[in-house]
Amino acid sequence: MKNYFRSAGKDIPASIVVVLVALPLCLGIALGSGAPLFSGIIAGIVGGIVIGLLSGSHLSVSGPAAGLTVIVATAIAKLQVYEAFLLAVVIAGILQVVLGFIKAGILGDYVPNAVIKGMLAAIGILLILKQMPHLAGYNSDFIGDESFKEANSQNTFTAFENFASKINEGALLIGVVALLILIVWDGWIVKKIKKVQLIPGALLAVIAGTFMNEYFKTSIPFIALQSNHLVTLPVAKDVISFLSFFTFPDWSFITNKEVWIAAVTIAIVASLETLLSIEAIDNLDPLKRATPTNRELKAQGVGNLISGLIGGIPVTSVIVRSSANVYAGAKTKLSAILHGLLLLLFVLFIPEIINHIPLSALAAILIFTGYKLAKVSLFKEFYKKGLDQFIPFVVTILAILLTDLLIGILIGCGVALFFLIRSNFHSAVLVVNDTNNYLIRLRKDVSFLNKPIIKQKLEEIPENSFVLIDITRADFIDKDVIEEINHYMQHAHLKNIKVEVKKSRNKSMHQLFSQPNELKYEFN
């Protein structure tokens, strides 16, 4: 733990930035899920403190995730009793711990880098598109929604178009000032004056926005923000009323089939989102540290277990909070833990003060985070890498923008897999020619997918040629390919083509090719 406190000068300011990002997301996702508002705060506190302590990740921050919103809302609607849903969250947590013990964390390693980077860029673009209406005071959709189709029958683009006619002047003014503070502070002042690095620009933006609205109330009341444009934390008058915010699972629903269906669904989706987020944040880590994924699944499982036991909605590792943590300069998990403690202190001691913060100022922080995730330089970088990297990158972005995170990732992985197969398809067969002398070299694993290109190359060889088929570098050759080459050799003499096969010395390669006028397999 001593190592964590050595970086406290970086982690403490970062935790302030993260809590300012997390606060509206916790409330917004709970609202969008149809759960009690305080359940989102509980999930954020547990995600910060419990998972922060147990996780092996240095920079990941956990909390309620937008990707689970539809699943949670559906489960609550089906079960109709919130306490029954909490039981599903508890069971989901136990299942995640089991997944950690059976080493299911390896699944995250199979997601291509182009897809991971595309996911980060898509989240950045989504933050900008989704938060622009909130910046202007148009709060028709809950903060934190990442789905293309919104609960209010709009989608990402129609909501973006519609807010122009419903701008709240006060919210827009506060949001623009907050955004300018972030740009100037982080982009210029911090670079010029090293001594102010410990002061987060996000904190200054929120303080400025809050004081601006207080000034509006006294001097320009017609643009002052009302409560629906401000943070809305539940306020407890005393300890008893604060404890009433917590809810406990009803164990009498343990035999309910819907509880188990919801639990399994939450466990699988939450685990996938966590593994994807962890992979993405490890990519952003300046020190390139690797998170032990199986340990992460266990930590997430314990987090969901505790969250469900005290009334919280499910948690995962969350890209938005985690990326804000990275860009705020965090070095260790201390930042994530402190952000959870700060959330707890906010709701315990100063909820009235927090409820004066304009949502538009918080939207500015999210937009600024989105810009950092989706910089133009990232697109240029992948374009230079070639189409086999650029196309999966772009397709992942578009798929996430038009569907949701998990579906978009699956589509991106499918496209990346296509290019991987295509690359192997071509690299397994090399053709070189010098006048009428041809070399066809089979390399690595030559599957039936390579049969069409081999057939094409053989048929293109002109009359009166010499062909050397080299199989010495092939680890495996499919029998369909062997049959195709054998068939060619049987008829090559009709075009006065001489064919020789340079055979493999690898004793594990038992398939040999027929010589002309032979149709048989032999063994070395």
Which has the minimum average pLDDT: 155-169, 330-344, 369-383, 387-401?
155-169
Which has the minimum average pLDDT: 394-398, 414-418, 433-437, 464-468?
433-437
The alpha-helical segments, DSSP class H, found in 67-109 are 69-79, 82-101
Instruction: Taking residues 302-318, report their average pLDDT.
Output: 97
Which residues, at least 6 apart from 69, have a Cβ–Cβ distance to it below 8 Å?
A: 29, 32, 33, 144, 145, 147
Quickly state the pLDDT bin for 424 (edges 50, 70, 90): low
360 and 458 in a common domain: no
How far from 288 is each of 58, 281, 327, 352, CA to CA, in Å?
A: 10, 9, 14, 40
β pairing state of 466-477 and 498-502: parallel
CA angle 379, 385, 386 (to 5 degrees): 100
Question: Which pLDDT score, from 0 to 100, does residue 163 have?
Answer: 72
Higher pLDDT, 61 or 517: 61
Instruction: Taking residues 474-494, report their average pLDDT.
Output: 85
Cβ–Cβ under 8 Å, residues 307 and 46: yes
> Would residue 42 count as lying in a domain?
yes
**In the sheet where 437-446 sits, what is the strand order?**
429-434, 437-446, 466-477, 498-502
CA atoms within 13 A on the CB side of 82: 18
Is residue 56's pLDDT more than 80? yes
483 and 412 in a common domain: no
Query: Helix, strand, coil % (nearest 5) of the chain?
Result: 65, 10, 25
407 and 435 in a common domain: no
> Would residue 521 count as lying in a domain?
no
Which has the minimum average pLDDT: 165-169, 208-212, 278-282, 361-365?
165-169
Q: Which of 100, 85, 97 is nearest to 260 (CA)?
A: 85
Q: Given the structure tokens 């899920």, which residue do they identify? A: 33
Cβ–Cβ under 8 Å, residues 152 and 140: yes
Is residue 522's pLDDT more than 50? no
33 and 7 in a common domain: yes
Q: What is the pTM assigned to this prediction?
A: 0.82
445 and 416 in a common domain: no
CA angle 459, 464, 466 (to 5 degrees): 75
Question: Which pLDDT score, from 0 to 100, does residue 457 have?
Answer: 86
457 and 339 in a common domain: no
Is residue 367's pLDDT more than 90? yes
- Per-residue exposure over 232-243, b if at least 16 CB sit within 10 Å of its own CB, e if not: bbbebeeeeebe
> Would residue 161 count as lying in a domain?
no
- CATH number of the domain at 466, please: 3.30.750.24
What residue type is assigned to position 442 of the chain?
Answer: L
> How far apart (Å, rounded) are the C-alpha atoms in residues 79 and 433?
70
> Would residue 133 count as lying in a domain?
yes
Domain count across the chain: 3
Quickly state the pLDDT bin for 146 (edges 50, 70, 90): confident
Is residue 509's pLDDT more than 60? no
The alpha-helical segments, DSSP class H, found in 355-450 are 359-373, 376-384, 387-402, 405-427
> How far apart (Å, rounded) are the C-alpha atoms in residues 200 and 183?
12
Question: Which pLDDT score, from 0 to 100, does residue 374 have?
Answer: 92
306 and 208 in a common domain: yes
> Would residue 20 count as lying in a domain?
yes
260 and 397 in a common domain: no
Count of C-beta atoms within a 10 Å radius of residue 275: 26
> Would residue 88 count as lying in a domain?
yes
> Would residue 153 count as lying in a domain?
no
Cβ–Cβ under 8 Å, residues 100 and 301: yes
Which has the minimum average pLDDT: 261-265, 389-393, 419-423, 449-453?
419-423
How far from 106 is each of 200, 247, 393, 406, 505, CA to CA, in Å?
A: 36, 35, 22, 17, 36
Quickly state the pLDDT bin for 519 (edges 50, 70, 90): very low
β pairing state of 437-446 and 429-434: antiparallel
439 and 324 in a common domain: no
> How far apart (Å, rounded) are the C-alpha atoms in residues 402 and 440?
45
Quickly state the pLDDT bin for 426 (edges 50, 70, 90): low
Which has the minimum average pLDDT: 44-53, 91-100, 237-246, 470-479?
470-479
Higher pLDDT, 513 or 259: 259
432 and 416 in a common domain: no
> Would residue 148 count as lying in a domain?
no
> How far apart (Å, rounded) are the C-alpha atoms in residues 217 and 231?
16
Instruction: Taking residues 11-25, report their average pLDDT.
Output: 94
202 and 75 in a common domain: yes
Q: What percent of the chain has pLDDT over 70?
A: 93
> How far apart (Å, rounded) are the C-alpha atoms in residues 336 and 48?
5
Is residue 275's pLDDT more than 50? yes
283 and 203 in a common domain: yes
Question: Which pLDDT score, from 0 to 100, does residue 240 have?
Answer: 87
CA angle 70, 71, 76 (to 5 degrees): 100
Dump pLDDT digits (tens) for 215-255. 999 999 999 999 999 999 988 888 888 889 999 999 999 99
> How far apart (Å, rounded) are the C-alpha atoms in residues 398 and 380?
17
Which residues, at least 6 apart from 154, have a Cβ–Cβ distance to it below 8 Å?
A: 140, 141, 162
Question: Which pLDDT score, from 0 to 100, does residue 518 have?
Answer: 41
Dig out the tokens for 389 from the structure. 């990297």
What residue type is assigned to position 33 of the chain?
Answer: S
Is residue 307's pLDDT more than 70? yes
Quickly state the pLDDT bin for 404 (edges 50, 70, 90): confident
CA atoms within 13 A on the CB side of 175: 26
CA atoms within 13 A on the CB side of 465: 21
Residues of the domain holding 132: 2-141+167-374
Quickly state the pLDDT bin for 501 (edges 50, 70, 90): confident
Q: Which of 318, 303, 316, 274 is nearest to 104 (CA)?
A: 274
